[in-house]
């Protein structure tokens, strides 16, 4: 079989093959290179391209529209669009009002703060946001993390005013961080939260959020302040005497109702209004039941009287100094990153469905400024929620005006309807939260990750288990650390494969992948499939030399011709540093001692330029050791070998 392959290969080499010259890249100044690198790093979307060739007046208009997207769709707004937006806005308001109250309680904040956070931020986003479908307001994960992180140092029950001040301060720093990422074009930082990390984190957080609602669903008064699975379950069963059967029955009934409504809307998207209206209907019905039966006197706890009126200013409550400054900055950073990741992901998801673009950096600025303004108007961290945005999308929202309609509806509620929530039972708010976070557990996505990449599934599992058994922020940090470790592993241990010739062609492919590929006698052909830098040169040097030793040992055992050429295919080497350049010098010296010649194939522009500058003596960058393809290199070098053997 090997003799046949060798014969076929010899026949292939007899085919005349022109060797193309490897051309050096066009010269560029250091300033030009720096300009290109900075542009690709910070401005890959080239936001200024729309201004090219435009008159001054047009540039001014485009600039205003870029900063304030409302100026793009506002001038062309019509009654037809308004009809769609008002339906969508009223629909998401029916969901935002009960969710706002529920999520504020999840964050250990007064329920009214949740409604405040559904009034001002949507107005800011409608002016600055570029998504037509994003419905903004409080979200479960950010609420949970905000409450749990601040509660580590300050008790919301013993010092509620300080806790509220720290929540507003954390919101300010979250917004400042988010807006800074957008202004400085550093949005790629949030990409360190991989899909696997987010799926595991969201699932774990959903379970923790649901477990926290056992306090409301069972009517427990003395509940643990810890977030882990074990402490929560221990607290639940340790306080069995506090369980209230009235609360359990009411909670079970409304939870089943909410989950059924969610299931109906998932199976039939046209019935989106069923799941959208179910929380508000549950609040209204449960409030009427409690009021009519005086159930608040029989073991069912209620919200109590809520403050009427619009958001009071809170800029004077922000903490920029003192012993808690580190806490609020850390809380703002964590909640800012998570809420930003969720908001941008949701915005891009629905933009793809409607075939329009969402500018990630503009979204960061919009969400950031929304939270900065919110922190001064009694709001806590807000972003685009998936459940609300899905309802907004399905309800037929055409522009960000649906957020304005929602905001106006919440304003009317704050001004006129607050007394109606006095008898709303806490158990129903708990049921609303559980039904909302159930959707965060994405089992099909987790199974898909298991099928595709086992290491990513381990990352997912670490995030999930870390959140459940340790803490929300520690679980997330551990999963992110594991993801970064995976990246470092890929950098320090780059993929390098041995290539063989597919008989009858000049094509060379991975020997382990293509079983029909065969080795070329006298040649060791390797493909490096990663950038070469200081972190991986030791590994590459040792691995290539070991391959040479293995190749020679195998040839000696078969009494075949000795190794004469090592060909490095470099099409996938996109970058190289000064340490990487030294790799080729060391390889050249090591191979000279063995009587083996080093040949490079298709080094890319930047790589070739650096190698040429470093190899002034032309030790390894000679014209006869540079080729455009592996096929050309083998054909040319085989011809040289044949000429040498015939001369001898």
Read off the pLDDT of residues 490-531 as tens digits, 9 standing for 90 and up.
899 999 999 999 998 889 999 999 989 998 888 999 999 999
More confident residue, 25 or 598: 598
**Tens digit of pLDDT for each residue in 371-397?**
999 999 999 999 998 888 888 888 888
Q: What angle do CA 57, 63, 64 make, to 5 degrees?
A: 95
User: Residue 535: what pLDDT?
Assistant: 92
**Res. 227 pLDDT band, cuts 50 70 90:** confident
Task: Specify the 3-state DSSP secondary structure of 528.
Answer: strand
Three-class secondary structure of residue 626 per DSSP = strand
* Percentage of residues of the chain with pLDDT beyond 90: 39
Tens digit of each residue's pLDDT (9 = 90 or more) over 124-180:
999 999 899 999 999 988 998 999 899 989 989 889 999 999 999 999 999 999 999
206-216 average pLDDT score:
87
Orientation of helix 325-354 relative to helix 472-492, angle to 10°:
70
Mean pLDDT of 308-312: 90
pLDDT, tens only, 316-339:
999 888 889 999 999 999 999 989
Q: Do strands 496-501 and 508-510 pair parallel, antiparallel, or not at all (unpaired)?
A: antiparallel
Q: What pairing do the DSSP bridges indicate for beta strands 508-510 and 626-627?
A: unpaired
Indicate the DSSP class of residue 302.
B
Identify the pLDDT of residue 228.
79
363: closest CA among 350, 375, 354, 376? 350
Better-scored residue on pLDDT, 187 or 278: 278
Instruction: Give the single-character DSSP code of 414.
Output: I
- Residue 3 confidence (pLDDT): 45
Residues 508/591/548/587 CA torsion (nearest 10 deg): -80
pLDDT, averaged across the chain: 86
Residues 241, 244, 245, 247: what is their CA dihedral angle, to the nearest 10 degrees? -160
Question: Is the Cβ–Cβ distance between 430 and 254 less than 8 Å?
Answer: no
Residue at token pair 């309680």: 105
pLDDT digit string, tens, across residues 21-68: 777 778 888 888 888 888 877 777 777 777 787 888 888 888 888 889
- pLDDT attached to residue 125: 95
The whole-number pLDDT of residue 185 equals 83
Measured between alpha carbons, how far is residue 361 from residues 329, 356, 358, 380 in Å? Answer: 22, 16, 9, 22
Chain centre distance of CA 113: 28
- Which residues lie closer than 8 Å to 513 by C-beta, 6 or more apart? 497
Confidence of residue 592 (pLDDT cuts 50, 70, 90): confident
Interval 85-89 mean pLDDT? 92
Residue 422 has pLDDT above 90, yes or no: no
**Whole-number pLDDT of residue 560:** 58
pLDDT of 171 reads 97
Check whether 15 has a pLDDT greater than 60: no
pLDDT of residue 606: 85
- Indicate the pLDDT class of residue 1, thresholds 50, 70 and 90: very low
Q: Do residues 378 and 113 make contact, with C-beta atoms less than 8 angstroms apart?
A: yes
Q: How far apart are CA 620 and CA 626, in angstroms?
A: 9
pLDDT the model gives residue 12? 44
Alpha-helical runs (H) found in 438-501:
443-452, 454-469, 472-492
Judge whether residue 2 has pLDDT over 50. Answer: no
Residue 226 has what pLDDT? 76
How many whole angstroms separate alpha carbon 338 and alpha carbon 178?
A: 10
The residues pairing with 518 across neighbouring beta strands, listed in sequence order, are 501
Task: Annotate 530-581 with DSSP letters as a single string.
Answer: S-B-TTTHHHHHHHHHHHHHHHHHHHHHHT-PPP-EEEEE-TT---B-HHHH
């Amino acid at each position: 079989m090997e003799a046949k392959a060798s014969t076929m290969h010899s026949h292939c080499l007899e085919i005349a093959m022109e060797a193309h010259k490897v051309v050096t890249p066009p010269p560029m100044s250091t300033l030009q290179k720096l300009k290109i690198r900075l542009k690709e790093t910070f401005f890959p979307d080239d936001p200024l391209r729309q201004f090219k060739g435009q008159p001054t007046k047009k540039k001014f208009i485009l600039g205003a529209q870029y900063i304030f997207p409302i100026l793009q769709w506002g001038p062309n707004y019509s009654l037809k669009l308004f009809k769609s937006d008002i339906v969508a806005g009223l629909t998401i308001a029916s969901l935002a009002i009960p969710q706002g109250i529920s999520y504020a309680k999840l964050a250990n904040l007064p329920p009214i703060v949740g409604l405040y956070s559904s009034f001002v931020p949507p107005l800011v986003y409608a002016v600055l946001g570029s998504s037509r479908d994003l419905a903004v307001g409080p979200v479960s994960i950010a609420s949970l993390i905000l409450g749990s992180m601040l509660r580590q140092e300050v008790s919301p029950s013993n010092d509620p005013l300080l806790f509220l001040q720290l929540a507003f301060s954390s919101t300010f720093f979250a917004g400042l961080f988010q807006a800074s990422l957008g202004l400085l074009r550093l949005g790629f930082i949030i990409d360190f939260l991989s899909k696997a990390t987010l799926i595991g984190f969201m699932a774990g957080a959903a379970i923790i959020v649901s477990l926290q609602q056992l306090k409301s669903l069972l009517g427990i008064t003395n509940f643990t302040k810890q977030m882990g699975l074990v402490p929560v379950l221990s607290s639940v069963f340790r306080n069995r005497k506090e369980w209230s059967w009235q609360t359990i029955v009411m909670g079970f009934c409304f939870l089943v109702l909410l989950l059924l409504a969610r299931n109906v809307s998932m199976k039939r998207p046209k019935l989106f209004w069923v799941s959208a209206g179910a929380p508000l209907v549950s609040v209204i019905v449960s409030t009427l039941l409690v009021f009519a039966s005086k159930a608040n006197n029989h073991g069912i706890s209620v919200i109590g009287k809520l403050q009427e009126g619009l958001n009071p200013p809170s800029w004077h409550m922000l903490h920029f100094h003192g012993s808690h400054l580190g806490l609020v900055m850390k809380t703002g950073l964590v909640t800012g990153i998570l809420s930003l990741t969720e908001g941008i992901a949701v915005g891009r998801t629905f933009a793809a469905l409607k075939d329009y673009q969402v500018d990630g950096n503009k979204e960061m600025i919009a969400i950031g400024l929304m939270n900065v303004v919110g922190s001064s108007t009694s709001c806590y961290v807000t972003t685009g929620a998936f459940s609300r945005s899905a309802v907004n999308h399905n309800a037929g929202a055409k522009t960000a005006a649906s957020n304005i309609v929602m905001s106006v509806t919440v304003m009317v509620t704050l001004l006129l309807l607050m007394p109606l929530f006095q008898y709303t039972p806490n158990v129903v708010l708990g049921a609303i939260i559980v039904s909302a976070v159930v959707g965060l557990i994405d089992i099909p996505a987790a199974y898909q990750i298991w099928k595709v990449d086992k290491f990513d599934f381990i990352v997912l599992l670490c995030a999930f288990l870390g959140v459940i058994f340790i803490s929300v922020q520690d679980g997330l940090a551990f999963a992110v650390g594991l993801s970064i470790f995976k990246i470092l592993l890929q950098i320090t241990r780059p993929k390098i494969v041995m290539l063989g010739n597919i008989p009858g062609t000049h094509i060379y492919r991975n020997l382990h992948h293509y079983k029909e590929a065969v080795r070329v006698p006298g040649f060791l052909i390797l493909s490096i499939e990663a950038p070469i830098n200081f972190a991986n040169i030791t590994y590459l040097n040792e691995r290539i030399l070991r391959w040479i030793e293995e190749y020679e040992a195998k040839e000696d055992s078969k009494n075949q011709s000795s190794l004469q050429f090592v060909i490095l295919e470099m099409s996938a080497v996109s970058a190289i540093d000064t340490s990487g350049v030294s790799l080729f010098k060391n390889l050249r010296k090591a191979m000279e001692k063995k009587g083996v010649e080093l040949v490079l194939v298709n080094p890319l522009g930047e790589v070739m330029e650096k190698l040429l500058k470093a190899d002034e003596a032309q030790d390894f960058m000679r014209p006869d050791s540079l080729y455009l393809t592996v096929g050309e290199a083998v054909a040319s070098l085989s011809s040289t070998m044949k000429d040498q053997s015939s001369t001898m």
